């Protein structure tokens, strides 16, 4: 039985308006990969941040190798051998890869940075992940996946005793995740303790030895991964009886299977292309149909959505709506056509953080009505309340600033914003990214019902099982080009994987 690396006891943390952590205990042993599971707002990230010195804990003790520690800043935490990789890539876009790896600890001679040493060190750190990148290039020119790897390389660059991975795979495709797991195992065998936070159940079961579950800022329990049934895990995470979710999961296919065929075409995209983002692509979406865009990260899914919603201008190709040829050069035009779009990057491109839930919800309607025809406050409240209840948005009041809500609820607010606008085509880019199982189920259910009401939906997700479950038609992309399309019964994870993989081999 390996000895204790980290012991956290009775950790509490209060933020204005919410008790984020309530007397949480957590233990990590050497050479252990420890999954930390829980819904959004369960307190995973907060727990980690108290450990890495981003937040100060209000109560509790932390022992690292039996020594009590109290890091006041990430730097101190690093000095103690605790290093972290956060969910969103936290690096400096305009600096080189090498600099991002060594930033703040560049090897210096008489206070002068010697760049050769920097790049050597970066090379070393990168190669530790079996990656081969030109470390001199600007980070912003790398794919998100690469950036994530760079972040990990940076975390390993200091001789860490304890590595924290907060949603590291949320932006990685299958292969890259596998590479990452390989690295994780290697590190575990070297005796590192690894805290692994994720929403992907498969991944927890694949790599972690232990699982600790949090809910609503409290500890639910710690379990041997092997001895914990998925069903139990999920029900512990969301504190609900599992059957509900099962129901939610089974609903969509039945609902859509019947409605899938004989729908008249609604949106028809032909030979739509933009240099450097997507090769000519054809997609047709019918009313009451959910079309999935499947493919690895960076395969052109988001790019397609952006073109369709008028954020980027296509170089060529055409879009017809109800047989009418249309040109979409801005989101406004797209919205006028009855399109709606929830972007992948919720915080940056979705919510208006300091505005209230109410204002966020009515924003799209109002934008559509224009400046002069303003909704009355009463009207706004009515709309807001109806959606808050309809989608079960957890908020103290419609006047709460959206920034204070958890990720899942922010996502729901975004959905509400668009549903209030009664779109005819709803483009959902990773609607379930970084959201807990419960909310995922609810959102999938919602999609199904919208689809049943006759809304056309373009569904983008990196979780194949979701795509398979929710879509009646799946367009497979790879390397910024369409490589296949499935409908109805042809759709299966296996088939899609095959399509992607086959092309990879040819490439």
271 is a contact residue toward another protein (CB under 8 A): no
Tell me phi and psi for residue 337, to 5 degrees. -75, 0
Q: Which of residues 295-334 bind another protein (CB under 8 A)?
A: 296, 298, 309, 311, 330-332
- Of residues 389-408, those binding another protein (CB under 8 A): 394-397, 399
Which part of the chain contacts another protein (CB under 8 A), choosing from 3-11, 269-277, 440-448, 462-470? 269-277
CA-based R_g, the chain, Å = 24
Who's near 104: CB < 8 A, 6+ residues apart?
Answer: 75
As measured in angstroms, the least distance from the Cβ of 253 to another protein is 30
378 binds another protein (CB under 8 A): no
Q: Write down the least CB distance from residue 342 to another protein, Å.
A: 9
Residues shown for the chain: 507
Lay out the site mask for another protein across 23-52 (x = CB under 8 A, - = otherwise): ------------------x-----------
Residue from 59, 61, 108, 453 that binds another protein (CB under 8 A)?
108
Name which of 238 and 471 has its Cβ closer to another protein.
238
Q: At what angle do helices 357-369 and 407-419 cross, to 10 degrees?
A: 30
Please state the closest distance from residue 112 (CB atom) to another protein, in A. 5
Where is 244: in which H helix or E strand? helix 242-259
| Dihedral sign, Cα of residue 135, residue 138, residue 139, residue 142 | negative
**In this structure, is the dihedral angle defined by the CA atoms of residues 140, 505, 178 and 248, taken in order, positive or negative?**
positive
Q: Which residues pair with 19 in a beta bridge?
A: 14
C-beta pairs of 364-373 under 8 Å, 24+ apart in sequence: 364/335, 364/340, 364/417, 364/418, 364/420, 364/421, 365/420, 365/421, 367/332, 367/335, 368/335, 368/336, 368/421
How near is the Cβ of 225 to another protein at its closest, in Å?
25
Candidates 117, 352, 452, 481; binder of another protein (CB under 8 A) is 352
Give the residue among 168, 139, 137, 231 at the shortest CA–CA distance from 36: 168
Considering only residues 113-172, where is the footprint of another protein by CB under 8 A?
113, 131-134, 136-138, 140-143, 145-146, 154
> Is residue 349 a contact residue for another protein (CB under 8 A)?
yes
Please check whether residue 103 is in contact with residue 63, taking contact to mean a CB–CB distance below 8 angstroms.
Answer: no
The structure tokens listed for 409 are 């609820």
Q: Say whether residue 70 binds another protein (CB under 8 A).
A: no
Q: Does 84 bind another protein (CB under 8 A)?
A: yes
Q: Is 505 in the site for another protein (CB under 8 A)?
A: yes
Show the binding pattern over residues 425-464: x = contacts another protein (CB under 8 A), - = does not: ----------------------------------------
Structure tokens at 324: 């009418």
Q: How far is the CB of 4 from another protein (least distance, A)?
A: 25
Q: Which is nearer to another protein, 33 or 311 (CB)?
A: 311
């Amino acid at each position: 039985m390996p000895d204790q690396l980290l012991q956290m006891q009775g950790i509490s943390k209060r933020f204005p308006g919410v008790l984020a952590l309530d007397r949480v205990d957590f233990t990590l042993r050497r050479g252990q990969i420890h999954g930390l599971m829980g819904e959004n707002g369960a307190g995973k990230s907060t727990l980690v941040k108290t450990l890495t010195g981003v937040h100060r804990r209000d109560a509790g003790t932390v022992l690292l190798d039996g020594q009590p520690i109290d890091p006041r800043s990430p730097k101190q935490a690093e000095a103690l051998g605790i290093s972290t990789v956060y969910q969103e890539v936290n690096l400096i876009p305009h600096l080189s890869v090498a600099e991002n790896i060594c930033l703040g600890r560049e090897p210096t001679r008489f206070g002068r940075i010697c760049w050769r040493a920097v790049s050597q060190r970066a090379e070393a750190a990168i190669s530790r992940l079996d990656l081969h990148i030109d470390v001199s290039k600007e980070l912003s020119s790398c794919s998100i996946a690469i950036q994530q790897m760079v972040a990990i390389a940076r975390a390993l660059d200091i001789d860490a005793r304890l590595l924290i991975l907060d949603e590291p795979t949320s932006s990685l495709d299958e292969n890259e995740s596998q590479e990452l797991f390989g690295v994780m195992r290697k590190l575990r065998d070297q005796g590192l303790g690894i805290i692994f936070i994720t929403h992907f159940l498969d991944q927890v079961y694949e790599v972690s030895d232990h699982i600790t579950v949090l809910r609503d800022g409290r500890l639910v329990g710690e379990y041997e991964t092997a001895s914990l049934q998925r069903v139990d895990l999920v029900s512990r995470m969301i504190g609900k009886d599992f059957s509900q979710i099962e129901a939610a999961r089974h609903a969509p296919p039945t609902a859509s299977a019947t409605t899938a065929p004989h729908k008249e075409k609604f949106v028809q995209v032909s030979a739509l292309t933009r240099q450097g983002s997507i090769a000519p692509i054809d997609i047709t979406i019918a009313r009451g149909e959910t079309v999935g865009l499947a493919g690895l990260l960076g395969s052109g899914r988001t790019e397609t959505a952006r073109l369709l919603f008028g954020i980027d201008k296509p170089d060529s190709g055409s879009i017809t709506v109800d047989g009418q040829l249309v040109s979409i050069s801005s989101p406004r035009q797209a919205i006028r056509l009855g399109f709606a779009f929830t972007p992948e990057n919720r915080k940056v491109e979705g919510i208006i953080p300091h505005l209230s839930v109410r204002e966020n919800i009515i924003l799209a309607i109002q934008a559509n009505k224009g400046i002069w025809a303003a909704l009355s406050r009463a009207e706004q409240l009515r709309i807001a309340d109806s959606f808050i209840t309809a989608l079960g948005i957890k908020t103290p009041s419609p006047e709460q600033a959206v920034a204070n809500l958890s990720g899942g609820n922010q996502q729901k607010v975004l959905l509400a914003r668009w549903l209030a606008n009664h779109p005819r085509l709803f483009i959902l880019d990773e609607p379930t990214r970084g959201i807990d199982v419960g909310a995922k189920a609810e959102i999938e259910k919602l999609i199904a019902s919208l689809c049943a009401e006759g809304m056309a939906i373009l569904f983008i997700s990196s979780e194949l099982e979701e795509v398979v479950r929710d879509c009646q038609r799946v367009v497979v992309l790879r390397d910024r080009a369409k490589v296949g399309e499935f409908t109805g019964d042809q759709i299966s994870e296996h088939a899609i994987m095959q399509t992607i993989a086959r092309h990879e081999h040819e490439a």
